[in-house]
Each structure stands twice: as C-alpha cells, then as structure tokens.
C-alpha cells in the first residue's frame, strides 16, 4: 500500500500567517492516464472531512483561494496564504492513484 507521510504533525499559526504542510508518498502518484490523484482535505472539529484541493493543485468549488497545492510524483505541499480562524482543524492528504486509497496521518492546525 502507498504510505503518505505528512509533516509537521501539528502546526501553530497566528491569524494572517502563511503556512505549508508537506505530504510525501512512498511511490509516485503519477497515474498512467497522466493525472496525479493527490487530494487535500480539511476536517474541522466535530465535522466531516471537506475536500479542498484535488489532483494536486485544483481548488474545489467554494474553497477560498488562500489555499493552494503544488508538487509532483512523490512530494506535495499544501499552502495556506494568510491563515484565518476558520482554518483550524486537521488536514489530510490522500491518494487515489493506487488501490487501496490511502490517507496521510494528518496535520493539526492550531490558531495561536
């Protein structure tokens, strides 16, 4: 199974600060169809996960553009440019290139 390693496990930020979360895959997530199925989700406290970014860098409809994703093959990054209070929660990367689908262990974002 593909192992996704997220760092850091926890992140503390002030409002307005920019932060980045890393997701490294144990194997390339480039699919034979040319797409890379690496997504980012946010789970706010007590809520269901919410898709933020799909296929590395595509912003899901309704998601603020302070969120951005980048990367390729095995190294991926989620950046939040100007953290807001509503961004607190746990961020997960997940891959859908290889079966079984797998998730990273999560990065908890706390607001100082």
Q: Which parts of 14-56 are beta strand (E)?
A: 19-25, 38-43, 50-54
Instruction: Indicate which single residue of 51, 59, 63, 111 sits in contact with other proteins (rule: CB under 8 A).
Output: 51
94 binds other proteins, rule: CB under 8 A: yes
Rounded to 5°, the CA angle 72-42-81 comes to: 65
Told to check if 39 binds other proteins by CB under 8 A, we report yes
Counting contacts by CB under 8 A, is residue 103 touching other proteins? yes
Shorter beta-carbon distance to other proteins: residue 21 or 41: 41
Residues 6+ apart with CB under 8 A from 83: 13, 14, 15, 16, 17, 18, 19, 109, 111
Binding flag, residue 50, other proteins (CB under 8 A):
yes
Q: Note the residues at the interface with other proteins (CB under 8 A).
A: 1, 39, 41, 43, 48-51, 54, 60, 92, 94, 96, 99-106
């Amino acid at each position: 199974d593909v192992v996704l390693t997220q760092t850091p496990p926890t992140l503390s930020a002030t409002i307005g600060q920019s932060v980045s979360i890393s997701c490294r895959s144990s194997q390339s997530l480039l699919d034979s169809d040319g797409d890379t199925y690496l997504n980012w989700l946010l789970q706010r406290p007590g809520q269901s996960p919410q898709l933020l970014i799909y296929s590395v860098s595509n912003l899901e409809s309704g998601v603020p553009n302070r969120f951005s994703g980048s990367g390729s093959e095995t190294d991926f990054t989620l950046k939040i440019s100007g953290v807001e209070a509503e961004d607190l929660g746990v961020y997960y990367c997940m891959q859908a290139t290889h079966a079984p689908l797998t998730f990273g262990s999560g990065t908890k974002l706390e607001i100082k």
